Structure 1
Amino acid sequence: MFVKLMLLMSFFFTPAPKDVPKSIYNFKVEDLSGGQIDFAKYKGKKILIVNTASKCGYTPQYEALEKLYKKYSGKLVIIGFPANNFGAQEPGTNAEIETFCTKNYGVSFPMAAKISVKGENIDPLYLWLTKKKYNNFQDSEVKWNFQKYLIDEKGNLVNVWMSNVTPDAAEVVAAIEK
């Protein structure tokens, strides 16, 4: 009886799959200006996915992300995903976020429209990133802003770094250069 109750509870309290694609290359997401980011165009490159926020202690990581993006532009794309899931640290609209990123950090890498990276409204991309049954790598949980997910050139999730690991940390650079 207890097991049945737990299964029933998990059915009601686990986010629905929301049509989670099998491959990272099947994702298409809205960008900050209303256009589209099509992951299929990044086949053959590494992809670093980062959930971002404008009013976080980690916000200065935008600068290191931009430097990384420029340095490895031939083999790496960085995609920022603004999210307001932690401490209401991304309260702005897409237009306000775009202005903030450009004006303060010169961000030129693709930035998606604001999404939810956890909870019942989790975006399907983040469901893919955080559930082993989709990403075939590991289960994880987004614990704070500026958590990083690295996808290799073949579309496989290969690394996850917490917020306190900076984009220019030796382990991140080594994984990109690998």
Structure 2
Amino acid sequence: MGMCKLCHQESCLQESHILPNSIAKRIKSHGQTIVIYENKEPAFENSNFNYIEPMLCRKCEQILCKYESYGTNVTRNRKVVKRKGKEFVVFSVDFKRYYLYLISILWRAGITNHAQFTIVKMGESLLELMRNCIFNNKLIWNRDGLEDIISISIVKVNNEYEHLSDDALRKIVITPRLDEEKKKLVIIT
């Protein structure tokens, strides 16, 4: 028993994934994972890099599951993400649902106690705004617009190296890092 970090109700907490399980499944299905830690040499790991901890009640797990299901489908659907020259264009996406999917990942990374996410630190007021928006399925809470505060960019990594297979590229996981120059948090999955 403990307090759910999303609904703030006392409940039996689930072992919640920090990164969505859909991301972990895709990477783990390819075997060994290459993990790149900031300021360290890349390491090959067979371990479960998808960190979990008691965080959410069953009901709130289901809320995040709906975001993850939609977000995963958008990301993998070739009809939604199309190549236009060297750029990618996204069509027919429910912005609110997809944005809340991405915000839910950032929120979990911000509230976890796991050592790999210590760089992801946000003020309590921002975490509370994110929590309320995720829980209530809204982009605005008490006149604060989440999308006015947090800008998210999605970048597709193109493999231009003949010696690196696309499968190997899919196995790479980079732990969160802070880009001091641009004052941005970078999370790559």
* Class of the TM-score when normalised by the shorter of the 2 chains: under 0.3
Give the structure with the larger strand fraction: 2
RCO comparison, higher one (Cα < 8 Å, 6+): 1
- The TM-score with structure 2 as length reference comes to 0.27
Q: Which has the larger radius of gyration?
A: 2
